[in-house]
Amino acid sequence: MMFENLSERLDRSMKLLKGEGKITEINVAETLKEVRRALLDADVNYKIAKTFTETVKEKALGQNVLLSVKPGQMMTKIVHDELIQLMGGSNVEIVLKGSPAVILMAGLQGSGKTTMSGKLANMLKRKRGRNPLLVACDIYRPAAIEQLKVLGEQIEVPVFTLPDVKDAVLIANEAIKHAKNNGNDIVIIDTAGRLAVDEQMMKEIENIKKAVEPSEILFVVDSMTGQDAVNTAKEFNERLDFGGVVLTKLDGDTRGGAALSIRSVVSKPIKFVGTGENMDALDIFYPERMADRILGMGDIVSLVERAQEQYDVDEARKLQKKIAKNQFNFNDFISQIQQIKKMGNLKDLAGMIPGLGKAMKNMDIDDNAFKGIEAIISSMTPQERENPEILNGSRRKRIANGSGVNITEVNRLIKQFDETRKMMKMVTGGGPQVAKLMKNLPMMK
């Protein structure tokens, strides 16, 4: 889970003030010493970590702690506010000007530019109703062109290529002509990975920028490379003056120092973060939400937004009617599982719920947790999925054999399904049934 190590360390730091009557120079110094260590261990730039803790100290000392606020809570609030400022203060929108709007993707080889180009095209198409065109300008790596074609087919976005042309500037220019002639209102140019020290390659991307005059240049960086990512961003920015940063693989980096450092070093906003392998695993970067998550406060807004993306109003109405009539079946059940899976990494989702991220930090939440359930349901006949009440002993045995699990697991799933169905019917029934359900819950007795 992103920032997991940093979250744990900051949580421990704040506990140093627990039980203190007021904020003093001594207990602030002790707390901030731990905060600085936590930031450095998370691979945050030393100067940034030092400046950050000095700013927090300045704001914390002399604070009159409100009667209802404990010193630890006050310090958490100050650290939270400074984290937001460190990461940019507020989110910055992608710039889409021109007809078509041109987005130039830059970065090191292996940073995830090609995949990110596809994810961005997918987001702009699905969420903003745009008609993007992907452009393969990596003339040095044939696999990159093929990868972009595969991604384009997957998300149903056209990909422009000129296979026999070894001039990236020409390909980019021809792609824009193609977009104008075919009604594509956004052109996303995937370029070759390059090192800042490679003068010829840097000159090439500068020439592409000059030729196509992009409304947006995004620097794609692998967050797992830590401070190297920050240094590279600085060098690229000096040559390209890019508009924003895209952090990839943030879901795999428990430290997250790059996200905290990069904004301060290059003075350019982080606009997007990659949060998984799926083509829809791309989030707009919100500094406040990220600060919430770092300090274990959850991120309910993002969780609700992800849920709404998978939410179909008509399907929900149909499902509600089926639940009310006690007709909820295994087809509906598996459909709900598929929607949850589309929302993203399970541990990441848990971290969005206030308090739950901390509670589950030592638990191993496998993204394949639903595989056993899916295997059992897939081994049922269409009739059995539609009518769970016909699942007798012999049918259950056959399902267990077909799904490669013990019959006990099949029985457990069916029992849980029956209990879930009863509870759902009570809740949708309302009135006395809900009262009865609440009365039977242990905490209500």
Last residue of a domain, one of 264, 297, 330: 297
Q: What is the pLDDT of residue 250?
A: 67
Quick one: which of 213, 203, 138, 141 has its CA closest to 173?
A: 213
**Has residue 366 got a pLDDT over 60?**
no
Q: What is the rounded radius of gyration, in angstroms, for the C-alpha atoms of the chain?
A: 26
The domain total for the chain is 3
**Has residue 179 got a pLDDT over 80?**
yes
Same domain, 232 and 330: no
**How confident is the prediction for the chain on average, in pLDDT?**
75
Is residue 327, in this structure, part of any structural domain at all? yes
Q: What is the CATH number of the domain that holds 12?
A: 1.20.120.140
Q: How many CB atoms lie within 10 A of CB 158?
A: 17
Query: Which two tokens mark 321?
Result: 């009617």
Q: Which domain holds residue 48?
A: 4-86
Q: Is the entire prediction scored with pTM above 0.75?
A: no
**Has residue 305 got a pLDDT over 70?**
no
Dihedral sign computed on CA atoms, order 126, 128, 133, 135: negative
216-222 β-sheet, strand order = 159-160, 132-137, 186-191, 101-107, 216-222, 244-248, 270-274, 282-284
pLDDT-derived band of residue 132, with 50, 70 and 90 as boundaries?
very high
Is residue 92, in this structure, part of any structural domain at all? no
Query: Which two tokens mark 217?
Result: 């240049």
- Please check whether residue 43 is in contact with residue 224, taking contact to mean a CB–CB distance below 8 angstroms: no
**Has residue 187 got a pLDDT over 90?**
yes
pLDDT-derived band of residue 444, with 50, 70 and 90 as boundaries?
very low
Q: What is the pLDDT of residue 196?
A: 64
Same domain, 154 and 59: no
Question: Which tens digit of pLDDT belongs to each residue from 393-421?
Answer: 889 999 998 888 888 888 988 888 887 77
Same domain, 105 and 82: no
d(CA 244, CA 16) in angstroms, rounded, equals 37
Same domain, 230 and 165: yes
Is residue 110, in this structure, part of any structural domain at all? yes
Is residue 401, in this structure, part of any structural domain at all? yes
**Has residue 291 got a pLDDT over 90?**
no
Q: What is the CATH number of the domain that holds 127?
A: 3.40.50.300
Is residue 70, in this structure, part of any structural domain at all? yes
Q: What is the pLDDT of residue 434?
A: 39
d(CA 205, CA 169) in angstroms, rounded, equals 8
State the average pLDDT over residues 368-373: 73
Same domain, 413 and 438: yes
Query: Which two tokens mark 38?
Result: 């936590």
**Has residue 356 got a pLDDT over 50?**
no
pLDDT-derived band of residue 170, with 50, 70 and 90 as boundaries?
very high
Is residue 91, in this structure, part of any structural domain at all? no
Same domain, 240 and 256: yes
**Has residue 197 got a pLDDT over 70?**
no
For residue 132, the cross-strand partners are 186
- Please check whether residue 298 is in contact with residue 354, taking contact to mean a CB–CB distance below 8 angstroms: yes
